[in-house]
Amino acid sequence: MLLLAAILVIIGLGDILRSLLQTGTFGTIAALGGVAALVLLATGLLTGIPWWAVALCGIPALLWFHTISVRQPTGSVRGTAPQVLVFVLLCGGLTVLGDTVAPAGEVVPVPAVGRFDTELAALAAGVALFHVVSANAVVRLALSAEKHGRSAAESELLVRKPQLKGGRWIGPLERITLTGLLVAGAYPVAAGLIAAKGIIRFPEMHQDRAEGNKAEYFLVGSFVSWTIAIIAAGLLWSVA
**Residue-range domain boundaries for the chain:** 2-239
Distance CA 47, CA 99 (A): 11
CA dihedral 18, 22, 26, 30 (to 10 degrees): -20
pTM: 0.83
pLDDT of residue 153: 47
Q: Would you state the pLDDT for residue 9?
A: 96
The C-alpha atoms of residue 36 and residue 155 are separated, in whole angstroms, by 38
DSSP 8-class letter at 73 = -
What values do phi and psi take at 175, rounded to 5? -65, -40
Q: What's the rounded Cα separation, in Å, for the pair 229 and 61?
A: 20
Examine the pLDDT at 24 and tell me if it is beyond 70: no
Give pLDDT, residue 158.
Answer: 45
Dist CA 84 CA 63 (whole Å):
8
What tens digit of pLDDT does each residue of 145-204 get? Answer: 655 545 444 444 444 444 545 556 788 999 999 999 999 889 999 999 888 887 877 666
